[in-house]
Amino acid sequence: MANVQPLRSPDDPALDDLCRELAARTDAQDVSGAWPAEQLQLLGKFGVYEWFLPREWGGQEWSGADCIRGYLRLSEACLATTFILTQRTGACQRIADGDSPRKSELLPRLVTGESFATVGISHLTTSRRHLARPALEAEETANGFTLHGFSPWVTGGLHAETIVTGATLADGRQILAAVPTDLPGVSSDPPQELVGLSSSHTGAVRFDKVLVERDWLLAGPIENVMASGIGGNTGGLQTSTLALGLARSAIRYLSIEAEKRDELREPAQALARDAETAVEDLLSLAGGRESCTPQDLRYRANSLALRASQAALTAAKGAGYVAGHPAGRWCREALFFLVWSCPQPVANAALCNLAGLGD
């Protein structure tokens, strides 16, 4: 592993080596719940952090479609590491797109993997939206903003040097800032014990009257800062990509079992066909061609992750239900897609389907 060259495209054969290294560690990682420090170092060695950042910061600026192809391969190998990578990338892209002069300090260390950053923005998008009071409030001061409150879900907050988060002012406008975690008043709760992906070390991060100087500001104050396009993603396709990566891992297992068990052949083939059609649609969307809507794809990707993982468990029988077997892990991980940044229409459609209400 000494002389690894950075991957130059998703067709680079060395991506197979990286995926093999990641896959070899996945089950033990899931059982221990430990932070995947070694896997994240591997991503750095193989230049994965370069994919997502502009050349001026040492990145390779891969196209949206190539990033999606890369994510798909990585998520088949290790969903937990790839999920952490999406949150890290979300932070890096917002820092790169934002107005902060501090980006010249932050990005060179992020692109190499020397530093870890993450995002805590769900309280502005999909979490606690039914509550009257913002989870994280900001007050403008002479040279910046004071943040008070918490961000409920932050992946790897304990391990981050920087957290990209948003806060709401009394007049309803919002800011987005890159907050150094060593500022007085920033603290991460111990990670939550989760149904799956516990090694993502996700938990709340608290901000106790934290003074954030103006030069850490990425955007705002404006109405609905998350709609400002800062750190814009590839049409919200990441979550579907990771769900399809998980589905493919489970289908591969089922197909291998089907080689020796006739009764598995037809279900394995049907799931494989369904998954490959969804992957084609994903790559079309990532390449700017509208083969279906991103929400339709998300619904199908969620459904495939759930169906394929449960098919794998059915084939694996009791042995698959023992901790450490991948089939049980896939089932738990598939549930994540029901809650991770799930658009309300997709959640509604899933509920109707579960209730047998049809189309």
Ligand X SMILES: Cc1cc2nc3c(=O)[nH]c(=O)nc-3n(C[C@H](O)[C@H](O)[C@H](O)COP(=O)(O)OP(=O)(O)OC[C@H]3O[C@@H](n4cnc5c(N)ncnc54)[C@H](O)[C@@H]3O)c2cc1C
Q: Which residues bind to ligand X, rule: CB under 6 A?
A: 87, 118-122, 126-130, 152-155, 194, 197, 200, 202, 339-341
Cβ proximity to ligand X: between 119 and 305 the closer is 119
Cβ proximity to ligand X: between 60 and 81 the closer is 81
Shortest Å, Cβ 204 to ligand X = 10
Shortest Å, Cβ 275 to ligand X = 23
Shortest Å, Cβ 186 to ligand X = 15
DSSP assignment of 28-40, as one string?
Answer: HHHHH----HHHH
Which two structure tokens, joined as six digits, stand for 178?
A: 């890159």
Instruction: Let me know: does 240 contact 155? Beta carbons within 8 Å.
Output: no
Shortest Å, Cβ 317 to ligand X = 28
DSSP assignment of 230-297, as one string?
Answer: TT--STT-HHHHHHHHHHHHHHHHHHHHHTT-HHHHHHHHHHHHHHHHHHHHHHHHHTT--SS-HHHH
176: part of which helix (H) or strand (E)? strand 174-180
Which two structure tokens, joined as six digits, stand for 310?
A: 């449960």
Tokens 């989870």 identify what position? 135
Cβ proximity to ligand X: between 155 and 303 the closer is 155
Cβ proximity to ligand X: between 283 and 347 the closer is 347
Which two structure tokens, joined as six digits, stand for 281?
A: 């649609």
Shortest Å, Cβ 306 to ligand X = 16
DSSP 200: G
Cβ proximity to ligand X: between 121 and 285 the closer is 121
Shortest Å, Cβ 196 to ligand X = 8
How many whole angstroms separate alpha carbon 111 and alpha carbon 51?
9
Cβ proximity to ligand X: between 15 and 175 the closer is 175
- Cis previous bond, 221, omega within 30: yes
Which two structure tokens, joined as six digits, stand for 352?
A: 């109707």
